[in-house]
């Protein structure tokens, strides 16, 4: 077994790229070898903080021969070409979601991924959240009986800027796509999607033909039903809950709070501060565990990293949700 730290290349040094850089630097099984960003000053700052050489060219990373794996944290339109380059050069890759906004481009790359035999993992980090993973394992063990209903609630603290919404692909491809992957994690045999929503409060959503409030219902061939509730704002903080329900009982994941201290007075009982306010705080542990699992895949070991096929399936569901929203009708899906 190879126990040497893997040499990582990081492409993209924005918010999530910096999270990956810190986790690579902290892992005994990884080291940051190269950092690329067209805005080379960002790459230089990350390299100075976490190691490696900085460049403004992702191609230089692949040509260097000095990386054993790459993490793609650059904007979505770059993902397809960078994955293709990783496959041509034989470098395992962990790519942030979504693979692309256009399913046709994803399907064009699909045969190359299948033929190359090189690990391509997708950044669906929530699978590795300790609470969600525990519920998944307990459902798989039959603790609540056959799964009948899965309820996912995912609300952001505040809407993103309008210029971000303009290029994001919309709420289903940008935000709900994590929830679609979580739905498939629990209920893989999804066959139908129905979505509804509204631009209830965000001018950016209205400007760019998007919604800020959505409910999606997915039906599985098994008869299980998944409901996903999304909002682009939440006054109480980052709202991330899940319930798995079956004939024998249910399992719930509650929100993560900012304090264990509560106040009880004549005016209120057990009053607590708001929930955690940011996804990087709520899911910090999941990003660490995601990296550890990807390292296994890159070393050729058994791994539970979400795959290119998982990324494709989530995008198919996102596209179906948007079509359902527009047509006001359920949409049949084939995830094979």
What is the pLDDT averaged over residues 31-38?
Answer: 98
Q: pLDDT tens digit string along 160-218?
A: 999 999 999 999 999 999 999 999 999 999 999 999 999 999 999 999 999 999 999 99
Examine the pLDDT at 269 and tell me if it is beyond 90: no
**pTM, rounded to two decimals:** 0.95
Closest CA to 13 of 1, 27, 24, 3: 24
Q: pLDDT tens digit string along 119-172?
A: 999 999 999 999 999 999 999 999 999 999 999 999 999 999 999 999 999 999
Hey, what are 210's tokens?
A: 């998007």
Q: What is the pLDDT of residue 263?
A: 86
Helix or strand holding residue 293 (H, E) = helix 284-298
How far apart are alpha carbons 162 and 208 in whole angstroms?
8
Closest CA to 240 of 139, 152, 110: 152
Q: What is the pLDDT of residue 110?
A: 98
Q: What is the pLDDT of residue 36?
A: 98
The tally of CA atoms less than 13 A away on the side-chain side of residue 289 is 16
Examine the pLDDT at 1 and tell me if it is beyond 60: no
**Max CA pair span of the chain:** 68
Q: What is the pLDDT of residue 2?
A: 63
How far apart are alpha carbons 156 and 158 in whole angstroms?
6
User: Where do the domains of the chain lie, and which CATH numbers do they carry?
Assistant: 6-118 (3.40.50.720), 126-283+308-332 (3.30.360.10)
Q: What is the pLDDT of residue 179?
A: 98
**Read out DSSP for 181-209?**
HHHHHH---EEEEEEEEE--S-HHHHHTT
Q: pLDDT tens digit string along 44-87?
A: 999 999 999 999 999 999 999 999 999 999 999 999 999 999 99
């Amino acid at each position: 077994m190879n126990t040497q730290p893997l040499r990582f290349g990081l492409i993209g040094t924005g918010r999530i790229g910096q999270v990956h850089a810190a986790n690579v630097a902290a892992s005994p099984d990884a080291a940051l070898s190269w950092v690329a960003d067209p805005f080379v000053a960002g790459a230089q700052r990350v390299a100075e903080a976490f190691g490696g050489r900085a460049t403004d060219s992702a191609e230089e990373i692949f040509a260097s021969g000095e990386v054993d794996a790459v993490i793609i944290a650059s904007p979505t339109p770059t993902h397809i070409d960078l994955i293709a380059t990783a496959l041509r050069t034989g470098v395992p890759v962990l790519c942030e979601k979504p693979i692309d906004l256009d399913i046709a481009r994803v399907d064009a790359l699909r045969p190359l991924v299948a033929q190359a035999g090189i690990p391509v993992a997708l950044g669906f980090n929530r699978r590795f959240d300790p609470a969600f993973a525990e519920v998944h394992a307990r459902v798989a063990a039959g603790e609540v009986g056959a799964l009948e209903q899965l309820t996912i609630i995912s609300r952001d603290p505040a809407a993103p800027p309008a210029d971000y919404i303009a290029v994001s692909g919309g709420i289903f491809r940008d935000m709900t796509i994590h929830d679609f992957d979580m739905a498939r994690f629990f209920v893989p045999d999804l066959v139908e999607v129905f979505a509804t929503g509204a631009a209830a409060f965000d001018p950016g959503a209205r400007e760019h033909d998007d919604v800020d409030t959505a409910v999606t219902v997915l039906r599985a061939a098994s008869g299980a039903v998944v409901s996903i509730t999304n909002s682009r704002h939440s006054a109480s903080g980052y709202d991330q809950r899940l319930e798995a329900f079956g004939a024998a009982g249910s399992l719930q994941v509650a929100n993560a709070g900012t304090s264990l201290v509560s106040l009880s007075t004549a005016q209120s009982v057990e009053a607590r501060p708001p929930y955690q306010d940011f996804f990087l705080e709520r899911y910090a542990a999941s990003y660490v565990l995601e990296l550890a699992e990807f390292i296994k895949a890159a070393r050729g070991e058994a791994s539970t990293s979400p795959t290119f096929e998982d990324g494709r399936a989530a995008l198919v569901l996102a596209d179906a949700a948007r079509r359902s929203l527009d047509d006001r009708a359920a949409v049949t899906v084939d995830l094979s």
